[in-house]
Structure 1
Amino acid sequence: MEHEKVVGKDAAGEGTGTDAPSRTLWSDAWHRLRRNRLAVIAIIWISIIVAIAITADLWVPQWLGSPTDTDTTMSSTMSKLPPSAEHPFGTDALGRDVLCRVIYGSRISLAVGVLATAISTVLGLIMGALAAYYGGIWDTIIMRLADIFLAFPYTLFVIVLLAVIGQGIQNVFIAIGILGWPSIARVFRSAILSVKENDYVDAARAMGASDARIIARHIFPNSVASIVVYATMNIGGAILTEAALSYLGMGVTPPNPSWGIMIQDGQQYLATQPWLMLMPGLAILTTVLAFTLLGDGLRDALDVKMKDA
């Protein structure tokens, strides 16, 4: 009898030390994300950019000078210097250090990317939830409104909105955020439609749970994975849009540093002083690519179909 008890205990997997700890969706996703080398590189690069942007005031002015102030007495001798140990990215036409302006420009780009994505995500979640959960006339109105927004060229629509509400960094991320909700609403609507008819939703409704509670506690947690992926990629798109607006003169106002303004100022010197345009261009390229690779890695990590057996 004792032998049978021992065997039964081993068969159940207790006491043998072979039990694998259960993982949640997010811990399991993090486990798979760490094995994606491109995503890890993207996380490291984004972390470096964020750390540099946050701590810039502590060391950049002492090492590289001001991103906006110019010394008229030294501008003739400091103008358009090539990259060197003293000025790693060279200097611009007014003698300002290009690396300094790239670093401070990252603050604006990251702020616009995060804040604009936050606005569009909140609006998209609300509109998508209303359209998918209630359906009927709500679904028709919201989706047709989304079609109207998507029918216009995105950048042109942002320019028109900025022309109405005015320029400025605050209006830039407001305009980008307001016009970015339709895509997120469509993604969230599709995710909700795939889970709202599940048994646990019907059980919660039968127990008298309110619509807000059902959406917040049951539908949203099971639909949020696709939104996390889309929002991460959307940050890169917002950064690119801000750079395009600043390049066209509709975004950040000089002398504030912006990657788009730096490219616009440096394009006329591309043949003789290419660093004036290439350095901010590389900053845009690497940052947008990092958010795209991170979003791609999150998509694979959060895909339950790819879960290891």
Structure 2
Amino acid sequence: MGIFSAKAAAAAVNAQTSSRTMWGDAWKRLKRNKLAMIGMIWIGFVIVVALTADLWVPGTLGSPTETDSATMAQNSRLAPSAEHPFGTDTLGRDVLCRVIYGSRISLAVGVLATAISTVLGLIMGALAAYYGGIWDTIIMRLADIFLAFPYTLFVIAMLAVIGPGIQNVFIAIGILGWPSIARVFRSAILTVKENDYVDAARAMGASDARIIARHIFPNSVAVIVVYATMNIGSAILTEAALSFLGMGVQAPNPSWGIMIQDGATYLATQPWLMIMPGLAILTTVLAFTLLGDGLRDALDVKMKDA
């Protein structure tokens, strides 16, 4: 038992040192990736603007949902100007104001949906990889069934049952997004669990939960970080598509998808109604993609499926 204790302790120390070195080296490599840093800066900017909107937007740009019937006609669909940088919509509301508040919904749905799908994916992937056998067969075949259907159509079908709304949107996106994460995490665990420190911990009598939490999960976290970052952008895009189709966030909430739907009618005459929220979606999703690609390269993660 003493030999196994020494081996486990040495392996744990080596793993922790290696982890610290890995993250330090990854940050240095990430800083050299200009596109990833641009993506990170833009994401940080969007988060700051979304979180501080209540402090300055109402006093300068007005409300994102309320309308003034007395001035609605004269303020309807105004072109971009110094007073309204992104113009106004059909109800006289400032488009920039609605884009800013729409970022809150997009970020909230993206983060919460990704959190749900990541947690479910980690649990299912861990069960499949660590225990193998019948667990692996059942979970992976279940994942195959989920992945056999077009993802967006699957989400629409679920929302048709539980109803639209912000809460139901991120729940549906999150619950139906676990299979791809489970497969990637399963692949990572199959590699990590063969290491000496895992064998030493198992020989010492450590429980399965402790081995997964203390040894396997920390050494697979790089894959999780990369995949979760990319999934946030995907969830934002899915929410916008659902709201555009009328299955997601409902008016008068300022969702980017709803704004594009409202502006589509006036694309030929007032294109800013559709272009501005479209640019918001494009830049934000692209920023998460660039950051995810940068993290993948910095952490040297092989995004393989198994």
- TM over 0.5, shorter chain: yes
Q: Distance between the aligned counterparts of 1:42 and 1:155, measured in 2?
A: 25
Return the match for 2:134 from 132, 137, 147. 137
Return the match for 1:99 from 96, 101, 125. 96
Matched residue, 2:165:
168
Return the match for 1:29 from 26, 32, 35. 26
Asked if residue 38 in structure 1 is aligned to residue 32 in structure 2, the reply is no
- 1:45 CA drift (Å): 0.4
Q: Distance between the aligned counterparts of 1:24 and 1:289, measured in 2?
A: 29
* Superposed counterparts of 1:79-228, under 5 Å: 79-228=76-225
Q: Which amino acid aligns with 1:66?
A: S
Q: Do the aligned partners of residues 304 and 77 (structure 1) sit closer, same or farther apart at CA in structure 2, a change above 3 Å counting?
A: closer
Matched residue, 2:230:
233
Q: Which amino acid aligns with 1:162?
A: L
Maintained 8 Å contact 2:185/2:220: yes
Normalising by structure 2, report the TM-score.
0.91
Q: Distance between the aligned counterparts of 1:197 and 1:40, measured in 2?
A: 35
Equivalent position SS for 2:88 = coil
Normalising by structure 1, report the TM-score.
0.90
Q: Which amino acid aligns with 1:77?
A: Q
Q: Distance between the aligned counterparts of 2:76 and 2:27, measured in 1?
A: 48
Matched residue, 1:290:
287
Matched residue, 1:248:
245
Asked if residue 63 in structure 1 is aligned to residue 64 in structure 2, the reply is no
* Structure (1 or 2) with the larger CA radius of gyration: 1
Matched residue, 1:3:
none
Q: Do the aligned partners of residues 304 and 93 (structure 1) sit closer, same or farther apart at CA in structure 2, a change above 3 Å counting?
A: closer
Q: Which amino acid aligns with 2:131?
A: Y
Q: Distance between the aligned counterparts of 1:224 and 1:230, measured in 2?
A: 10
RMSD between superposed Cα atoms in Å: 1.2
- 1:24 CA drift (Å): 2.1
Deviations along 1:66-114, whole A, 9 cap, x unmatched? 0001111111110110000000000001100000000000000000000
Equivalent position SS for 1:77 = helix
Equivalent position SS for 2:25 = helix
Corresponding residue pairs, total: 284
Q: Do the aligned partners of residues 23 and 181 (structure 1) sit closer, same or farther apart at CA in structure 2, a change above 3 Å counting?
A: closer
Q: Distance between the aligned counterparts of 2:263 and 2:195, measured in 1?
A: 56
Q: Distance between the aligned counterparts of 1:104 and 1:269, measured in 2?
A: 22
Q: Which amino acid aligns with 1:228?
A: V
Matched residue, 1:257:
254
Equivalent position SS for 1:24 = helix
The farther-off stretch of 111-120 and 219-228 is 219-228
Maintained 8 Å contact 2:223/2:301: no
Matched residue, 1:301:
298
- 1:165 CA drift (Å): 1.1
Q: Distance between the aligned counterparts of 1:134 and 1:242, measured in 2?
A: 35
Q: Distance between the aligned counterparts of 2:70 and 2:180, measured in 1?
A: 51
Structure 2 residue ranges without an equivalent (≥5): 1-18
Q: Distance between the aligned counterparts of 1:118 and 1:28, measured in 2?
A: 26
Asked if residue 47 in structure 1 is aligned to residue 9 in structure 2, the reply is no
- 1:23 CA drift (Å): 5.4
Matched residue, 1:78:
75
